[in-house]
Structure 1
Amino acid sequence: MSTYYSVLEVTPTNQDWVADYIGPANKLVAQYGGKYLARTNSHERLEGNGEDPALRIIIEWPSKEAAIGFMNDPGYVPHLKARTAGSVSHHSLIEAKDDLA
């Protein structure tokens, strides 16, 4: 199985969901074998244009199935809905491979 990475850009539009989100998300990420590599507002654009998100988040997953399982977990779904309702969020799932090698 390949390693996968969730790469998120999140800009909260309100803070109502944040306090209730962090604990359950942390627990479920760990339950699915995920590991936060970065959760930070310390980032800078080195190339290109556009609005920078408030937060950039990178999660390493042991498999695609683990990442999808996390996203679909009944314990996470209400928190996902709250995050997406209370933020501008973009989430990409990237397989750890080099297609150009």
Structure 2
Amino acid sequence: MFYSVLDVTPTVDTWIPAYIAETGVIVKKHGGKYLARTASHEQIEGDDAGAALRIILEWPSKEAALNFMKDPEYVPHLKARTAGSVSHHFLIEAKDDLAQ
């Protein structure tokens, strides 16, 4: 299992309606699902790392997440989001490297 964890702060909002309307189907096509997609969040530790939105997606595999990112249906939305926002995207494997 893998998780995409994103923080997104739009700089323009023209890309948002099409992104919301169309990307959910593409996420599902690759076996992913949204766990959180919200502006309702608060930072409770560390230096301020503000973001307008926090998004968490669950993927069945790393390959599924990467295939989503390069899906020809998604690429125009990715380009629009990255051009119209400050975004950070982390792909995290569901494992505990520190467990003893």
Fold-level match, TM-score > 0.5? Answer: yes
Structure 2: give runs of 5+ residues left out of the alignment.
none
Over 3 Å counting, the alpha-carbon distance change for 1:84 and 1:97 in structure 2 is same
Q: Counterpart of 1:33?
A: 31
1:68 to 51, 57, 66: 66
In the alignment, the residues of structure 1 paired with residue 72 and residue 21 of structure 2 have an alpha-carbon distance, to the nearest angstrom, of 15
Root-mean-square deviation (CA), in Å?
Answer: 0.7
SS class of match (1:80) = helix
Equivalent pairs: percent with the same residue?
A: 68
- Count of residue correspondences: 99
1:78 to 76, 79, 82: 76
Deviations 1:41-76 (A, max 9, x none): 111111011241000000000000000000000110
TM-score w.r.t. the length of structure 2 is: 0.96
SS class of match (1:26) = helix
In the alignment, the residues of structure 1 paired with residue 67 and residue 21 of structure 2 have an alpha-carbon distance, to the nearest angstrom, of 18
Amino acid at match of 2:53: L
4+ runs deviating over 6 angstroms: none
Alpha-carbon offset, residue 20 of structure 1? 1.1
1:87 aligns with 2:85: yes
